[in-house]
Amino acid sequence: MNLLIKHAAILTNSERNVIESGYVAVKGNRIFQVSDKPIEGFLADTVIDGTGKLCMPGLVNAHSHVPMTLMRGYADDLELFEWLNQHIFPVEDRLDDETVLAGSLLGIGEMIRSGTTCFCDSYFFCDAIAEAVKTSGIRADIARSTVFFGETYDPDKDERFCEAREIIKKYNNTENGRLTVSLAPHAIYSTTPDNLKFIAGYAKEHELKINLHTAETKKEYDDCMQQYDMTPVEYIESCGIFENKTVCAHGVHLTGKDFEILSRYGASVVHNPTSNLKLASGFCEVQKLLDADVNVALGTDGAASNNNLNMFEEMHLLTLLPKALHYDPKAVPAEKAVKIATVNGARALGIESGVIAEGFLADLILLDLSGLHFQPMHNLVSAVCYSAQGNDVDTVIIDGNIVMKDRELLTLDEEMIQYKVKQAVKKLFRS
């Protein structure tokens, strides 16, 4: 399908960052041409009038646990390990394909509505998550989260890894490349050195990405130092994980040497500001990571520790926190924050999106700029970072396909989702 967006302001994330009124031509699932003038000779099947709207790259949620929307507001105001062990894990023990499908559809619908076109997820019952991804049209990198506490590691006896291996075979690089699969050892405290070394080798052999929780809490950092005399990042390096494309979620408790290691291997760190604040985990040193040439992406984490999947809120916090931490109003400026939420997330996941330029994937969103909170419009990029809200998103295009138009979801039935969620909640939270 050929698609044309006309008369829209365009935020490109490229050399010419802002086009006040322009045209974006999409051929198939790729951007064909971008111009401030009408595109001659391009025959569009669908034309979108972008008057009064901003066309920008879709947001990339680089760390999430989408089915956890079902636990939104269930166990608030608790420390991480109490929250996990006493509340979240008991509910997760009752999950099944049906409930995970309901939570995934809910989370994906919420993300599309607020401008997210791609997400990275680690969880379980991944068949259900994959079904939701395929149905909705969203782009996703999913993984079967694995843990291992045994003495001697045998992958053929590790049910979780066997499940992860099957998920990779079934779904990696499917849906025209829209659905990919990674390996996701949960964290250093829920795995063993032998387990991590095996996963590192398996990922290298099969050219797979790895994502894992890294240095999220002070306890994780202190326990690692006590047990291994290494920081979590140093320990992960010693297991060979960084020899693969690696996405480190959180990265709150890092040292100067950690910054150097992450930069040297080209690993990405995903900042989850709301979740880290809510669980009192601390602050990711975003500006220091950027200064060390580490690719920083942005994520929401799960809705159980957020409590929403609104990337515009995360972007807002992303730029405010470093300013306060460093007493520097220039830390993580608006333009950098927008790129972290788009092109840096795409880079972390190995996806050719985040930029509106010829040849890039057509993962685009249109914001309605008519709201009073946008007036007056002195600086478009600043407005996206500091003023925009998730409900300003009018249209969402993923892989060249329109999945939301005029704020109406086209691939998902919201009434059906609401019904499935109610049934899932009854099953999970029965007395």
pLDDT tens for residues 133-172?
999 999 999 999 999 998 899 999 999 999 999 999 999 9
Name the band, by pLDDT with cuts 50, 70 and 90, for residue 30. very high
pLDDT at 431 over 60: no
Give a yes or no: residue 258 inside a domain: yes
Token readout for 113 is 């509505």
**Residues contacting 194, CB < 8 A, separation 6+:** 152, 153
Whether 73 and 38 map to the same domain: the answer is no
Mean pLDDT of 112-132: 98
86 and 25 housed in the same domain: no
Instruction: Give Cβ neighbours of residue 174 (< 8 Å, ≥ 6 apart).
Output: none
pLDDT, average across residues 11-36? 96
User: 67-106: per-residue pLDDT in tens?
Assistant: 999 999 998 998 888 888 999 999 999 999 999 999 999 9
- Whether residue 425 is contained in a domain is answered as no
Name the 3-class secondary structure at 27: strand
- Read off the CATH number of the domain in which 380 is found: 2.30.40.10
- Comparing C-alpha atoms, which of 429, 209, 25, 223 is closest to residue 199? 209
129, two tokens = 């998550």
Nearest to 141 by CA among 216, 245, 232, 30: 245
In this structure, the answer to whether residues 368 and 253 fall within a common structural domain is no
Q: What pLDDT shows up at residue 80? A: 80
Give pLDDT tens digits for 240-296. 999 999 999 999 999 999 999 999 999 999 999 999 999 999 999 999 999 999 999
Site of tokens 């890039």: 360
Burial 401-419 (b: 16+ CB within 10 A, else e): bbbbeeeebebbeeeebee
Mean pLDDT of the region 364-385: 97
CA 370 to chain centre: 28
Place of tokens 């066309």: 55
> Model confidence over 61-72: pLDDT tens digits?
999 999 999 999
207 located within any domain: yes
Mean of the pLDDT values across residues 118-138?
A: 98
Complete DSSP assignment for 349-395: HT-S-SS-STTSB--EEEEETTSGGG-S-S-HHHIIIII--GGGEEE
Please identify, among 314, 349, 384, the residue that sits at the C-terminal boundary of a domain. Answer: 349
**Domain count for the chain:** 2
pLDDT higher than 80, residue 1? yes
| pTM higher than the cut 0.85 | yes
Our CA dihedral for 285, 288, 292, 294, rounded to 10 degrees, sits at 30
189 pLDDT higher than 90? yes
Which token pair is 115? Answer: 């401008």
pLDDT of residue 79: 83
Q: Are residues 236 and 367 in the same domain?
A: no
Could you tell me if 300 and 357 lie in one domain? no
Q: Angle at the Cα of 208 (from 183 to 88), degrees rounded to 5?
A: 15
309 and 359 share a domain?
A: no
Give the CA angle between residues 298, 122, 155 to the nearest 5°: 135
d(CA 251, CA 269) in angstroms, rounded, equals: 6
Q: Domain for residue 182, yes or no?
A: yes
- Check whether residue 176 and residue 225 sit in a common domain: yes
Single-letter amino acid code for the residue at 342: T
Would you say residue 35 has pLDDT above 90? yes
Question: Measured between alpha carbons, how far is 358 from 31 in angstroms, rounded to an integer?
Answer: 5
Beta-carbon neighbour count of residue 321 at 10 Å?
21
Residue pointed to by tokens 């045994």: 150
Residue 143 lies in a domain: yes
State what percent of residues in the chain have pLDDT above 90: 96
Residue 421 within a domain: no
Model confidence at 211, in pLDDT bands (50, 70, 90)? very high
Domain that holds residue 382: 2-58+353-409
| Mode of pairing for the β-strands spanning 179-181 and 59-64 | unpaired
Exposure pattern of 267-283 as b/e (b: 16+ CB <10 Å)?
bbbbbbbbbbebbebbe
For residues 12-38, give the mean pLDDT.
Answer: 96
**Residue 270's CATH number:** 3.20.20.140
How far is it, in rounded angstroms, from Cα 32 to Cα 166?
A: 36
Contacts of 152 (CB under 8 A, 6+ apart): 194
User: Could you tell me the CA-to-CA distances from 379 to 9, 132, 183, 318 in Å, in that order?
Assistant: 12, 37, 41, 19
- Same-domain pairing of 51 and 66: no
The answer to whether position 297 is within a domain reads yes
Where is the domain boundary, 327, 349, 371? Answer: 349
Residues 393 and 338 in one domain: no
Q: Is residue 417 part of a domain?
A: no
Domain boundary among 299, 316, 349: 349
Residues 343 and 335: beta-carbon distance below 8 Å: no
Question: Exposed, middle or buried by CB within 10 Å (0-12, 13-18, 19+), for 345?
Answer: buried
Burial (CB count <10 Å: 0-12, 13-18, 19+), residue 177 = middle
271 and 160 within one domain: yes
Q: What is the amino acid identity at position 153?
A: Y
Identify whether residues 325 and 181 lie together within a single domain: yes
Pairing assessment for the beta strands 46-49 and 2-11 based on DSSP bridges:
parallel
399 in the same domain as 343 = no
Query: What average pLDDT score do residues 44-57 get?
Result: 98
Average pLDDT over residues 300-305: 96
